[in-house]
Amino acid sequence: MPKILVVEDDPTIGKVLSRYLTHAGYEVRVEVDGNRALETFFGWRPALVLLDIVLPGQDGRSILKSIRERSSCPVIMLTALNDIENRLEGFQGGADDYIGKPFQGEEVVARVRAVLRRTPALALEEAAIFGDLRVEFASSTVFLHGEPVKLAPRDLSLLLFLAQHPNRLFNREQLIERVWGIDYDGSDRAVDLSVKRIRQALSAWPKEQGEIQSVRGLGYKLLCHTGPLS
C-alpha cells in the first residue's frame, strides 16, 4: 500500500484529502506543521508528498528544497497560489505537479496515480544492497560506503529504476518512457548524459561489485556482481 504524506495546515482540507486517498487504496498521514512534516518525511518515507505552500514552521518551498537535497520522492504542490509565477517556481524547485485550490478530490487522486506511474523506481521492497552500494527505494536515497550519494532528481530516478531491475537491459526509449514519462520533451541522448553523471557519482564503487554497463547499440543496465541483497 503506497504511503502518501499530506502537508496541509487546513484541517478540513487535510481530512478531505485523507478520505479520498484512503478510499483509493493509499496509506495516508497528514501533517499541519512544516517542521514536523520534514521529520515525518525522513522517518516514514512516503511514496509521494502532497505539499501546501503556506504553512506554519517552514513553508512549502523550503520543505521542497530540503526534500530535493536528499530524495527524488515525487512532490505535488497543493496551494491557492495558482498563478503562473508560482507554478514555474514550484517546477523549478523540483515539484512533479501542481494543483490549485479549490480542487476536486477525484482530480487529486488521478494526479497522484499519474505521478506514481511516472515514478517506476518506487519499489515494494525497502532497499537493495550491491556490495558497498545501498539503494533505498522507499525514501529514494542512495548510499555508497555508508555516505549519501548526491544526484539530481532525474539522475537519481534513473539509478533507482536500474537498481530495481539489476542485470536487465533497457534501451534509451524504454528508460525515457518508464523513468521520466512518455511526455518527456527532450533528446534521447539525455539518457547518455544522465548515465555519465551517475557513473561519476559512483566512481568509488568497486568494479568487482557492479557498474552501470552500456551495451553498444542496445542500451544500459545495472550489472551486478554481488547480489542484490535486500
The residue ranges of every structural domain in the chain are 3-117, 127-224
Crossing angle for the helix pair 60-70 and 84-92, to the nearest 10 degrees: 20
Q: What's the start-to-end Cα distance of the chain, in Å?
A: 19
pLDDT at 227: 52
What is the mean predicted confidence (pLDDT) over 15-40? 93
C-alpha cell at 223: 550489472
147 phi/psi in degrees, rounded to 5: -105, 140
Alpha-carbon gap, residue 144 to 97, rounded angstroms: 30
Whether 3-117 shares its CATH topology with 127-224 is answered no
For the stretch 162-208, pLDDT in tens is 988 888 899 998 888 888 764 555 667 889 999 999 999 999 999 99
For the chain, state the CA radius of gyration: 18
Share of the chain above pLDDT 90, in %: 38
For the stretch 62-84, pLDDT in tens is 998 888 877 778 899 887 765 65
Assign 216 a pLDDT band (cuts: 50, 70, 90).
confident
- For 127-224, give the CATH class: mainly alpha
pLDDT at 27: 94
What is the mean predicted confidence (pLDDT) over 36-40? 91
Say if domain 3-117 classifies as CATH 3.50.50.60: no
Give the per-residue SS3 of 23-85: HCCCEEEEECCHHHHHHHHHHHCCCEEEECCCCCCCCHHHHHHHHHHHCCCCEEEEECCCCHH
C-alpha cell at 116: 506514481
β-pairing verdict for 27-31 and 75-79: unpaired
Contacts of 200 by beta carbon, 8 Å cutoff, 6+ apart: none
Alpha-carbon gap, residue 211 to 61, rounded angstroms: 35
Lowest-confidence segment of 27-36, 90-99, 209-218 by average pLDDT:
90-99
